[in-house]
Chains A and B, each alone.
Chain A
Amino acid sequence: MPASALAELLKTYESELLEEWIGAQRAAGLRSDLIDLDTVVSNSRELLKLLAVAAEQGIDDLGARHWEPVRGMLERLSRAQSRQGFSPSETATFVFSLKEPLFAKIQQHCGAASLNEIWNATRLLDRLGLYSMEHFMAGRETVIREQQESMLELSTPVVELWKGVLAVPLIGSLDSNRTQVVMEALLQKIVETESEIAIIDITGVPTVDTMVAQHLLKTVTAAKLMGAKCIISGIRPQIAATIVHLGVELGDVITKSSLADAFVVALRELDVRLVSRPVLR
């Protein structure tokens, strides 16, 4: 039996299939909070049409050119749904729920060849379902990557505490990329503001390993070459103990337990004295 039996059915019974498919999707449960019925109907109608056209030219190779429109549509739809908050099964159900109405049609019209045709149809729909899933996941991964990138940018605030005093409060896990970005931002800002002192606060950093230590040391050295002095603050007792056991030498870097202490040191370095205003009567 040629593949066109399937194409023939899809074309001849298009409107019946559409109606029953929508029914099957509704029975499986539609996310009415995320998608309205009109959209479901128009998506379904479009895919049915594309399927009929593509199936006419053979259903064995979904990578073939004539499947391009179907692939394109599923890809767009699945990516969009992964962003909109559909679950993987909700997205997969779109394609899979076509099985029931389609198999029924095959049974009614293909006689002795039914079994064979059902097998063809199930293989086709399974592959299309998997294709949807791949792009659903790809959509998720894109979202994750974007979030990671935006976090990289968000977490590098270099602030000026006083004319000539910069501070960068590091928060979260420091891995190569992020540390590099922060450190470069700090050096850049030292140049821009002609600051003499930079405070690197690591209160929010859960782990200081040799890689983080090395980044810190490199930054301190680079800052020194630009004429600025670094103070590392927020070294909690457990971090101090760990650094000592690791054997990392912070050399002549000034360290302080809190950002406030570091700020006082910085002001002293700049010869700034803070006095409380006497209370006048």
Chain B
Amino acid sequence: MGKRETFPLKQETDIVLIRQRVRKYAEEAKLGIVSQTKIVTAASEIARNALIYGGGGECVVEACSRDGRSAVYLCISDSGAGIADIDRAMVDGYTSGSGLGLGLSGAKRLVDAFAIDSAPGQGTRVELWKWR
């Protein structure tokens, strides 16, 4: 197993740090510049959701490999209100706040594998993978 770190996600500035660390991991996994930017942007989206809607949480970043290719794995979790209707939340343009409603669906399109686990009152956990 590769390098693994856990970062707190309690305030806006934590998102900046998470983006920087994810970029570092992506560079080390030798992802191309486009892939690096994509995983960093996806991390930014999911982390901001966890902060705004989930009241904060944490972010695990891990260097791993997938079918022999180096990869970056992220797990961003919160213990907030959770999402009642995940399908609806994943629809382009759906927002319960004042966003563009593109964070979740956009993040899914930016990465190679995406998993979301959430239930009302149970918090939300999103996993992201991007490989070389």
Contact = CB atoms under 8 A, between A and B. Distances in A.
Interface of A: 173, 175-177, 206-211, 213-214, 237-239, 241-242, 245-248
Interface in B64-120: 92, 99-100, 102-103, 105-107, 109-110
Given A175-B12, A175-B15, A177-B12, A242 B38 contact: yes
Interface SS of chain A: helix, strand, loop or mixed? helix
B48 interface: yes
B131 to A, nearest CB: 16
Contacts, number: 69
Contacts of A209: 41, 44-45, 48, 103
3 residue pairs, one from A and one from B, having the closest CB atoms: A246-B106, A238-B37, A209-B44
A245 B40 contact: no
19 contacts: A173-B19, A175-B13, A175-B16, A206-B19, A206-B37, A207-B37, A207-B40, A210-B45, A210-B100, A210-B106, A211-B48, A214-B99, A238-B36, A241-B34, A241-B37, A242-B38, A245-B110, A246-B45, A246-B107
B94 to A, nearest CB: 12
Contacts of A237: 34
Contacts of B23: 206
A181 to B, nearest CB: 13
Contact of A247 (B36, B44, B99, B109): B109
B48 A241 contact: no
Contact of B106 (A173, A214, A239, A247): A247
Interface of B: 12-13, 15-16, 19, 23, 33-34, 36-38, 40-41, 44-45, 48, 92, 99-100, 102-103, 105-107, 109-110
B95 to A, nearest CB: 10
A248 B100 contact: yes
Contact of A214 (B40, B44, B100, B109): B100
A248 to B, nearest CB: 6
Contact of A176 (B12, B37, B102): B12
A247 to B, nearest CB: 5
A239 B33 CA distance: 10
A206 to B, nearest CB: 7
Contact of A207 (B13, B19, B102): B19
Given A207-B19, A207-B44, A211-B48, A242 B102 contact: no
A242 B13 contact: no
B102 A247 contact: yes
Nearest to B11: A175
A246 B102 contact: yes
Contacts of A248: 100, 102, 106
Contact of B34 (A207, A208, A211, A238): A238
A245 B19 CA distance: 18
A245 B106 contact: yes
B90 to A, nearest CB: 12
B100 A245 contact: no
A207 B48 CA distance: 13
